[in-house]
């Protein structure tokens, strides 16, 4: 369902968005620019404190993709994941017009690129590391930023955009023995 609200400004936008979010549970809010999006996120968090709110980064045509910092890509991925989330959680994605106009991969392709691991699953670790590299992850000595992974022995650490902390995946042979988040600073 598409709703178009005009003639409202300030924090009233967040009030109406929160009401819509309570009814629809998933919301894509298109705003004029990045600063407006960030301000709306703060206001919406007041009216919908339990909602997950993601802000898509503003797309700037002045820079080449390679020159942008990695955080822009990570925020785009988080926004796309939020829109495809199938949980009952209230989720709002706030996107500047420039972000909405930028082409993205089709939802089916994005979903198919998500790798899910479970305890007891048999995984070829060499293939897993190749998949991570092909997905844009950087193989580093110590995993401390989103988009990095480390492999040593039967352990692979991966920092995905989906979690606030890196994941440690421990293998017993080729079988996933343990998956847990860990504090990268300790």
Q: How far apart are CA 158 and CA 81, in angstroms?
A: 17
**Cα–Cα dist 29/178, whole Å:** 38
Q: What is the DSSP letter of 185?
A: T
Q: How far is CA 170 from the centre of its chain?
A: 24
Partners of residue 28 on adjacent β-strands: 93
pLDDT digits (tens, 9 = 90+) for 35-90: 999 999 999 999 999 999 999 888 765 444 444 567 777 778 888 888 788 888 89
Q: State how far the Cα of 88 lies from the Cα of 25, in Å rounded to an integer.
A: 7
Average pLDDT over the chain reads: 86
* pTM (2 d.p.): 0.67
Phi, psi (rounded to 5 degrees) for 106: -65, 150
CB 28 within 8 A of CB 83: yes
């Amino acid at each position: 369902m598409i709703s178009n609200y005009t003639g409202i400004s300030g924090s009233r936008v967040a009030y109406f968005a929160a009401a819509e979010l309570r009814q629809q549970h998933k919301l894509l809010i298109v705003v004029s620019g990045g600063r407006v999006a960030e301000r709306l996120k703060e206001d919406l968090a007041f009216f919908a404190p339990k909602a997950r709110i993601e802000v898509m980064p503003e797309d700037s045509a002045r820079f080449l993709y390679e020159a942008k910092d990695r955080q822009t890509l990570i925020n785009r991925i988080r926004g796309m994941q939020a829109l495809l989330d199938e949980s009952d959680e209230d989720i709002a994605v706030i996107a500047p017009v420039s972000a909405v106009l930028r082409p993205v991969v089709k939802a089916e392709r994005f979903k198919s690129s998500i790798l899910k691991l479970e305890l007891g699953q048999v995984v070829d670790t060499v293939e897993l590391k190749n998949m991570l590299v092909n997905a844009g992850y950087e193989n580093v000595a110590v995993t401390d930023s989103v988009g990095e992974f480390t492999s040593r022995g039967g352990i692979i650490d991966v920092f995905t955009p989906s979690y606030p902390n890196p994941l440690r995946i421990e293998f017993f042979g080729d079988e996933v023995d343990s998956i847990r988040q860990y504090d990268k600073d300790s």
